[in-house]
């Protein structure tokens, strides 16, 4: 009965009939989740410059929306740093050599932000797969649902500005 504790006893030699399921098991997804957390936090400075640019060029009625997204992103970085520290006992090292490429205009920035949020949802979903503890799953769920909300807000700004 000890085989019940092993998620996939025949991994990696299992033949999958429809779709490989090992990537959904925390035992196998955890290392990737930690790497993705580091990647997510490593672009903080670039994100800060991007939001500063977007706030500087946004029409007055749209600045509040962008500021709320920026504030959530700052919160996400704190949450991810806390998760990483709690599970590894280490801080995420500071990123070196971050560069910021300014969008050609406000509309291009909106488009970049929209697709960035959608990519983040996929990244956070993969991070979620690596954790079994409910407290971390809840924290990551908060982040990815915020990212979905942000995508909707950027889509709204796109509709206002990109007709």
Determine the Cα angle at 49 with ends 47 and 54, to 5°: 95
What is the pLDDT averaged over residues 45-57?
92
C-alpha dihedral, 38 to 123 to 162 to 55, nearest 10°: -30
Q: Which has more confidence, 65 or 28?
A: 65
What is the pLDDT averaged over residues 109-133?
95
Q: Determine the Cα–Cα distance for residues 163 and 161; give it in Å rounded to an integer.
A: 6
Q: Determine the Cα–Cα distance for residues 119 and 43; give it in Å rounded to an integer.
A: 14
Q: Determine the Cα–Cα distance for residues 151 and 65; give it in Å rounded to an integer.
A: 12
Q: Determine the Cα–Cα distance for residues 10 and 121; give it in Å rounded to an integer.
A: 31
- Residue 22 confidence (pLDDT): 67
Output the average pLDDT for the chain: 88
Span 75-95, pLDDT tens digits: 999 999 999 999 999 999 887
Domains of the chain listed by start with CATH number = 26-161 (1.20.1260.10)
| pTM of the predicted model as reported, rounded to 2 decimal places | 0.85
Sign of CA dihedral 12, 13, 14, 20: positive
Q: What's the token pair of residue 107? A: 């509309």
- Residue 1 confidence (pLDDT): 41
**H or E element at residue 6:** none
pLDDT tops 50 at residue 111: yes
């Amino acid at each position: 009965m000890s085989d019940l504790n092993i998620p996939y006893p025949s991994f990696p030699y299992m033949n999958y009939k429809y779709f490989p399921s090992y990537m959904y098991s925390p035992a196998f997804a955890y290392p990737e989740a930690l790497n993705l957390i580091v990647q997510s936090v490593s672009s903080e400075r670039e994100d800060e410059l991007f939001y500063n640019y977007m706030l500087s060029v946004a029409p007055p009625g749209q600045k509040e929306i962008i500021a709320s997204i920026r504030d959530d992103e700052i919160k996400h970085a704190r949450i991810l740093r806390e998760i990483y520290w709690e599970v590894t006992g280490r801080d995420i090292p500071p990123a070196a050599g971050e560069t910021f490429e300014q969008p050609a205009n406000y509309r291009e920035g909106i488009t970049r932000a929209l697709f960035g949020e959608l990519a983040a949802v996929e990244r956070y979903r993969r991070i979620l797969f690596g954790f079994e503890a409910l407290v971390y799953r809840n924290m990551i769920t908060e982040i990815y649902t915020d990212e979905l909300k942000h995508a909707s807000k950027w889509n709204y700004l796109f509709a206002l500005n990109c007709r």
